[in-house]
Amino acid sequence: MFKKCYSIKFLTLFLIISISFASCKSKFEKLKASSDYSKKYQEGIKYYNKKDYSRALALFDDLVQRYRGRSEAEDLFYYYAFANYKLKDFTSAGYHFKNFADTYPNSSRSEECRYMSAYCAYLESPNSTLDQTNTLLSIDKLQLFINLYPKSDRVAEASKLIQNLRDRLETKAYANAKLYLTIGDYKSAVIAFRNTMRDYPDTKYAEEMEFLSIQAQYMYAKNSLENKQQERLEEGIAIYQEFEEKYPSSQYLKQAQSLKRQCESSIENVKRYLANFDNEQKAYKKQLESEKSKQAQATSDIKTP
């Protein structure tokens, strides 16, 4: 009997909750379909304050065009941008924050919205393994904010975000240079290491990249034509000397020294090869001249009666 009563009470409670939920849903859908835009506006703000951003945004979507130019539009556009942000639609949020700042440049919220537009771009910047076009755009937007509001309390945070993005670009450049070395495109690796160290002089990868530059230069030289090798091997030795001067206690020093010795040994080998080749060419040329002389003499003897 007790179990039966309990089951009836539970079923009744479930039905009440279900009916209440259906009623609320029906109420929202009726409001959404309504042409009472003033009520939509008020209820949209209420939903926003209750953190029901999906419903707030659904109502705001119906209002933004109708309220454009009206006194309530500033608040509406502000909440509209933040509703997109709260729902993690950073592309839309960034656009609407920028639109707010452009439309209401004298608003007390303009600085915040300009920053939030840049921050949304920052949140959309991909990790260092992907294309970094958005990262560059994010840096530009954050720098624009700093330029427009140099005394803002948000400048320090914007500067920190820019540094994070630059670190991402630095890591991407470092990874790309190493990839060239891995796939055997040694000339591109040498150039990429050089460019990365030029663009990021304080990079945390400097020591490793300077060592890898020696390796890349050595491999580039060894895979060159013999008449190009000596000059390129000597460049490898020059890179080593700069490395040794900068990092006398480097963890890569022994490997670097080994590469230097290989460069020196390869220079001697290529010198001998070129000398032998030159001698062979001279001997071959001399032989050709001798044969031509003999042929000329033979022809002359035949013509002589």
Higher pLDDT, 131 or 198: 198
Q: Is the pLDDT of residue 98 over 80?
A: yes
Q: Is the pLDDT of residue 102 over 90?
A: yes
pLDDT for 200 equals 92
Structure tokens at 235: 């460049």
Least confident of 110-124, 183-197, 244-258, 272-286: 272-286
pLDDT for 27 equals 82
Q: What is the 3-state secondary structure (H, E, C) of 176-227?
A: HHHHHHHHCCHHHHHHHHHHHHHHCCCCCCHHHHHHHHHHHHHHHHHCCCHH
pLDDT for 301 equals 57
Go through the domains of the chain in sequence order and give each one's CATH number. 184-288 (1.25.40.10)
Structure tokens at 156: 């320090």
Tell me the average pLDDT across 50-57.
94
Q: Is the pLDDT of residue 110 over 90?
A: yes
Confidence at 17, pLDDT banded by 50, 70, 90: low
pLDDT for 197 equals 94
Residues 6+ apart with CB under 8 A from 226: 270, 273, 274, 277
List own/partner pairs for 196-200 with CB under 8 A and 24 or more apart: 196/170, 199/170, 199/173, 200/166, 200/170, 200/173
Please give the single-letter amino acid code of residue 178: K
Q: Is the pLDDT of residue 46 over 50?
A: yes
pLDDT for 2 equals 45
Tell me the average pLDDT across 243-260.
95
Cα atoms in the Cβ-side hemisphere of radius 13 Å centred on 75: 9
The closest alpha carbon to 208, from 238, 233, 181, belongs to 181
CA distance 182 to 162: 30
Would you give the distance in Å from CA 132 to the centre of its chain? 3
CA distance 5 to 10: 9
Q: Is the pLDDT of residue 251 over 90?
A: yes
Residues 6+ apart with CB under 8 A from 233: 218, 221, 222, 263, 264, 266, 267, 270
Is the Cβ–Cβ distance between 233 and 266 less than 8 Å?
yes
Residue found under tokens 């303009």: 110
Give me the chain's average pLDDT, please: 85
Taking the CB of residue 155, how many other CB atoms lie within 10 A of it? 16
Tell me the average pLDDT across 210-215.
96
DSSP letter for 64, please. T
CA distance 257 to 243: 10
pLDDT, one tens digit per residue, over 129-178 is 566 788 899 999 999 999 999 999 999 999 999 999 999 999 999 999 99
CA distance 238 to 74: 64
Least confident of 31-40, 43-52, 68-77: 31-40
Helix axes 90-103, 73-86, angle to 10 degrees: 160
CA distance 236 to 223: 13
Structure tokens at 66: 């109708």
Higher pLDDT, 302 or 68: 68
Helix axes 186-199, 155-183, angle to 10 degrees: 160
pLDDT for 203 equals 92
pLDDT, one tens digit per residue, over 266-277 is 999 888 877 766
